[in-house]
Chain A
Amino acid sequence: MVNTEQITFYTHIYSPYSQRVHIALEQAKADYTPYTLNVLDKPDWYAAKVNPAGKIPAITYGGPKVSPDTPSDESVKLAESAVILEFLADLFPDAGLLPADPVARARARFFLTVVDTKGFEGFREFIFLGHAMAPLIDGYAALQALLPPAGGFALGGDALTIADMAFAPFLARTYLLLSVDLGKFPAGEGKKAYAILTSPRFARLQQYLQDVKANPYWKATWDEDTQLAMWFTNPVFRRK
Chain B
Amino acid sequence: MSQQITVYTSKSCPYAHRVELALVEAKADCTRYQIDLRNKPDWYAPKVNPVSKVPALAYGGPPVPADQPSPESTKLTESLVLVEFIADLFPESGILPKDPVLRAKARLFADAVSNKLVPAQVAVLIRDEDPEQLVQAYEAIQALLPPQGFALGPFSAADIAAAPFLARIELNLANDLGGFPANEGKGPKILELLHAPKLARMQQYLKDIRGHPSFVATFDEASRSVTLHFLCGHGH
Q: How far is the CA of A154 from the CA of B59 in the complex (A)?
A: 21
Q: Is A125 an interface residue (CB 8 A)?
A: no
**Chain B residues with Cβ under 8 A from A103's Cβ?**
59-60, 74, 76, 85
Main secondary structure of the interface of A (DSSP, over half): helix
Interface residues on A, range: 20 to 34
Q: Is B201 an interface residue (CB 8 A)?
A: no
Asked if A90 and B100 sit within 8 Å, CB to CB, the answer is yes
What total count of A-B pairs have CB within 8 Å?
Answer: 59
Q: Is B193 an interface residue (CB 8 A)?
A: no
Interface residues on B, range: 20 to 34
**Chain A residues with Cβ under 8 A from B104's Cβ?**
76, 78, 83-84, 86-87, 90
**Chain A residues with Cβ under 8 A from B101's Cβ?**
61-62, 76, 87
Q: How far is the CA of A105 from the CA of B101 in the complex (A)?
A: 19
Residue of B80, B89, B100, B101 with most chain A CB atoms under a 10 A cut-off: B100
Q: Is A128 an interface residue (CB 8 A)?
A: no
Q: Is B126 an interface residue (CB 8 A)?
A: no
**Which residues of A are in contact with B by a Cβ distance under 8 Å?**
61-62, 76, 78-80, 82-84, 86-87, 90-91, 102-103, 105-107, 109-110, 113
User: Mind listing 29 A-B residue pairs with CB under 8 Å?
Assistant: A61-B101, A76-B101, A76-B104, A78-B104, A79-B108, A80-B107, A80-B108, A80-B111, A83-B108, A83-B111, A86-B103, A86-B107, A87-B101, A87-B107, A91-B100, A102-B88, A103-B59, A103-B60, A105-B88, A106-B81, A106-B85, A106-B88, A109-B80, A109-B81, A110-B76, A110-B78, A110-B81, A113-B78, A113-B80
